[in-house]
């Protein structure tokens, strides 16, 4: 019998648009497992930097990933990324990772590894997956697609409030202009500008839309 994906809610958008906070709160309210696909790209970037692999050498990265399994540890309804047996959570926001992750994530082979991991997760859980290409490329058949955005000023303020150094304009450019799976709005995605909204307001809009789409939700 052919395996089938569980339900997948895709939340895409640029850096600091509010994806993570919204996806976490949605996961709490709906009981779906939360997956941050950006964290998987960050884990890969951290891993290859730590192994002193050139982050611009796609072939070498692909080779290294063949012997570094990417798995997940379910904790509080969130699938945390584990690479080669190590949970790199404390390093995912390191400056060197912020700087190199957009470059590493442009390699098609790296994207393939991440997509396969996400597909595997969707064979065993209902998921809320945040990222850049989740609704457009990784799960194009899910009806539950959202694209969250915010003005550049608001996104910069959010990063500053988090105390992270992150060249988001530079990453936006790289994420939107790469040839493979660039950041785009999937044609059937519901677009939400979060600039002037609280997390709860965004979550309410998403839940209203999910109900409209027929997702069975209690209350
Ligand atoms: O969401 P984030 O800022 O943590 O993502 C880090 C980087 O990973 C981002 O600059 C681009 C890449 N990414 C991607 O290419 N595709 C995804 N689905 C998620 C993230």
Structure tokens given for 84: 């080669």
1 part of a folded domain: no
Place of tokens 């396969």: 116
Long-range contacts of 162-165 (CB under 8 A, 24+ apart): 164/93, 164/98, 165/95, 165/98
Its pTM stands at: 0.95
| Domain that residue 204 falls in | 8-212
Taking the centre of ligand 1 as the mean of its atom positions, its distance from the CA of residue 81, in whole angstroms, is: 14
Place of tokens 């992750």: 101
Residue from 167, 171, 157 nearest 104 by CA:
171
At 71-96, the pLDDT tens digits run 999 999 999 999 999 999 999 999 99
- Residue of 39, 105, 178 to test ligand 1 pocket, by largest number of atoms within 8 Å of CB: 105
SS3 content of the chain, % helix, strand, coil (to 5): 45, 15, 35
Instruction: Give the model's pLDDT for residue 215.
Output: 94
Beta pairing, strands 144-149 & 8-12: parallel
CA–CA separation, 181 and 26 (whole Å): 25
CA–CA separation, 42 and 114 (whole Å): 11
Q: What is the mean pLDDT of residues 143-171?
A: 89
pLDDT tier for residue 219 given thresholds of 50, 70 and 90 = low
Assess whether pLDDT exceeds 60 at residue 213.
yes
Beta pairing, strands 127-131 & 70-75: unpaired
31 part of a folded domain: yes
Instruction: Give the model's pLDDT for residue 168.
Output: 85
Closest residue by Cα to atom 20, ligand 1, is 38
2 part of a folded domain: no
At 186-197, the pLDDT tens digits run 999 999 999 999
Question: Domain of 172: which CATH number?
Answer: 3.40.50.300
Largest CA distance in the chain: 51
**Which range has the worst mean pLDDT, 19-23, 138-142, 159-163, 164-168?**
164-168
193 part of a folded domain: yes
Taking the centre of ligand 1 as the mean of its atom positions, its distance from the CA of residue 28, in whole angstroms, is: 22
217 part of a folded domain: no
Closest residue by Cα to atom 3, ligand 1, is 15
At 100-131, the pLDDT tens digits run 999 999 999 999 999 999 999 999 999 999 99
185 part of a folded domain: yes
Taking the centre of ligand 1 as the mean of its atom positions, its distance from the CA of residue 216, in whole angstroms, is: 30
Ligand 1 residue neighbourhood (C-beta within 6 Å): 15, 37-38, 41-42, 101-102, 105, 131-134, 171, 175
CB 26 within 8 Å of CB 204: no
- How many domains are contained in the chain? 1
Instruction: Give the model's pLDDT for residue 2.
Output: 56
């Amino acid at each position: 019998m052919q395996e089938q994906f569980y339900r997948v809610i895709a939340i895409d958008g640029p850096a600091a648009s509010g994806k993570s906070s919204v996806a976490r709160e949605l996961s709490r309210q709906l009981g779906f497992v939360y997956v941050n696909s950006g964290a998987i790209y960050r884990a890969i970037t951290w891993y290859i930097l730590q192994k002193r692999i050139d982050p611009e050498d796609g072939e070498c990265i692909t080779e290294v990933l063949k012997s570094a399994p990417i798995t997940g540890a379910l904790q509080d309804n969130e699938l945390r990324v584990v690479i080669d047996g190590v949970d790199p959570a404390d390093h995912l926001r390191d400056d060197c990772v912020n700087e190199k992750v957009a470059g590493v994530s442009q390699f098609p082979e790296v994207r393939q590894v991440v997509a396969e991991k996400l597909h595997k997760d969707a064979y065993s859980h209902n998921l809320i997956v945040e990222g850049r290409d989740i609704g457009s490329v990784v799960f194009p058949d899910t009806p539950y697609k959202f694209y969250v955005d915010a003005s550049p000023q608001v996104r910069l303020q959010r990063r500053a409030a988090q105390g992270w150094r992150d060249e988001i304009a530079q990453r936006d450019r790289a994420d939107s202009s790469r040839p493979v799976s660039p950041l785009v709005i999937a044609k059937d995605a519901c677009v939400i500008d979060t600039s002037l909204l609280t997390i709860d307001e965004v979550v309410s809009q998403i839940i209203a839309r999910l109900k409209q789409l027929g997702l069975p939700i209690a209350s």
